[in-house]
A and B are shown apart, each in its own frame.
Chain A
């Protein structure tokens, strides 16, 4: 069969880079959904918020977007802990997480998106940085820097989280609270505080993910919606709470989406991730790598 190798290899390469980025976006959900069992569908909304903040400071002060996001980390962390506190007091404590918690996050997603529309309008926004534009060429494969740099940053973020979770006391406490909250309490650690830290962390990742997003593609407020399916698809595919699984699942999804867009057209791309999600939920909810 006469497949253009050029096209195929480039699609796969793009998919891998995209997948790396997807892993960064999903990292936060791996924590909030995978470990804390909180369905935060507003997560992509916070990512877009991060994108717009990066855009605003980049356009007005010329600061590199990734640098902006690192500076924004404490702000987003605080946002995360506040949101969790409200969520905990209003829902978890009362045992009403499922229906009302979901509605709460849905409302937050909506409010975030519409607020951004009111402030920035619906035009696409993009940032300016030295690495947006040039590409590296390896043989017949083009690696645009605007995708390579975010992928690298994403992997760094991912690695940092994995190290935090496995090597620090707080990180391991987070893993513990996801498995056995009572045991954690008996070990004199406050599970609510641990969960609050974890959720804060999960939202903090949105700052970075947002900056990476707007480097890769122009952003407008409703872009977040496409990511809801992607993020949960990757989370479920990778097996909840498994960081390595999430990374592999993200790469897989990136490649499949890239191939679909290249050979069948980009209008089919959303169906890919959401379709993947449905198939996984229907046939193997434990994910490819889950227990």
Chain B
């Protein structure tokens, strides 16, 4: 298809990622690492949500559940046999990918609205199970001591920088994956499901199979975003892992940025994420959530195609003589 090839795009993305990493390393302020980590995490979550929600049109209210599953699988492994975080990320990907597949199998035969409710239900059931599971700390929570630094090939890396780097890599991976999907036959199939599922079936699109692929990929990425979380936060409680802010943000960010391409979640995550970081520090965390909610409602009404939709419309109007 048209535009920059996937290989070129991946190289550009990796190059930008490396540049960001180098810049951050030069700056070397711990607080910036912490704040940016959150934003990068949201880029992954928003992009992952958008694969099922924006591309396929199936709204998932249970993003927090997949994120928490990723976090708790790390906690579980940590108690069982400590492993380096990249391995934990891969384990989370498998666990939450399978969970996404399972959830999809149970719920994707339902209409869109039923599906959305079912995802919410699944999230609460999962949270209840975790709260009652003492091995991972239950409602008391689990402590994970974050080391000061990491030794790798003779170099000592500041641990928080290490976490930042991992999340940056995940973000790049998520964005490249989203773009690859968008331009592939699979992405086409996703779009037909979003536009008219009945017609898609009639044209030969195996809609159930395609939707299952979407939930698996989406779930896997959300879990991967959650895998390093216990190390980042040090003390993991079900209420924080399953927090509603993850569900709202993973929906609000793509909706505000724009759901039809990989750019939307990126833009939404950076803008909304930064605004929230600022608001939490200057005003309060409750107000920042209120702003997210209001912006979601406003954007959904006024700009259904998000910010990039608005930009596209401007460009189209400007191009017509």
Contact = CB atoms under 8 A, between A and B. Distances in A.
Asked if A and B touch directly (CB within 8 angstroms), the answer is yes
A233 interface: yes
B21 interface: no
Interface bin, chain B: 35 or more
B120 A228 contact: yes
A88 to B, nearest CB: 11
Contacts, number: 127
A229 B124 contact: yes
Q: Which 5 A-B pairs have the closest CB atoms?
A: A110-B293, A271-B128, A107-B296, A107-B297, A111-B293
Given A96-B304, A277-B118, A111 B125 contact: no
21 contacts: A41-B116, A41-B117, A94-B304, A98-B113, A99-B57, A102-B116, A103-B251, A107-B294, A107-B300, A108-B293, A114-B286, A115-B290, A222-B244, A226-B124, A233-B121, A267-B131, A274-B120, A281-B107, A281-B117, A282-B107, A285-B110
Interface in A44-95: 86, 90, 94
Contacts of B112: 98-99
Interface string B104-119: 0011001011101110
B125 A275 contact: yes
B132 interface: yes
A102 B125 contact: no
Nearest to B61: A106
A271 B53 contact: no
Nearest to A115: B290
Contacts of B114: 236, 281, 285
Interface hub of A37, A117, A268, A281 (most chain B Cβ within 10 A):
A281
A39 interface: yes
B301 A86 contact: yes
A98 B59 contact: yes
A39 B297 contact: no
A90 B301 contact: yes
Nearest to B245: A110
Nearest to A282: B106
B137 to A, nearest CB: 14
Interface in B113-145: 113-114, 116-118, 120-122, 124-125, 127-129, 131-132, 139
A21 interface: no
Contacts of B117: 39, 41, 228-229, 232, 277, 281
A270 B127 CA distance: 9
B300 A278 contact: no
B120 A104 contact: no
Contacts of B132: 267-268
Interface hub of B118, B122, B255, B304 (most chain A Cβ within 10 A):
B118
Contacts of A106: 61, 248, 251, 296
Interface of B: 53, 57, 59, 61, 106-107, 110, 112-114, 116-118, 120-122, 124-125, 127-129, 131-132, 139, 244, 248, 251-252, 255, 259, 286-287, 289-290, 292-294, 296-297, 300-301, 304
B151 to A, nearest CB: 42
Given A277-B121, A281-B110, A39 B293 contact: no
Given A103-B251, A267-B131, A281-B114, A111 B290 contact: yes
Nearest to B284: A118
A115 B286 CA distance: 8
A226 B121 CA distance: 10
Given A33-B113, A114-B290, A274-B120, 5 more contacts: A41-B120, A99-B112, A108-B297, A110-B289, A281-B117
Contacts of A236: 114
A178 to B, nearest CB: 15
Interface hub of B107, B120, B121, B125 (most chain A Cβ within 10 A):
B121
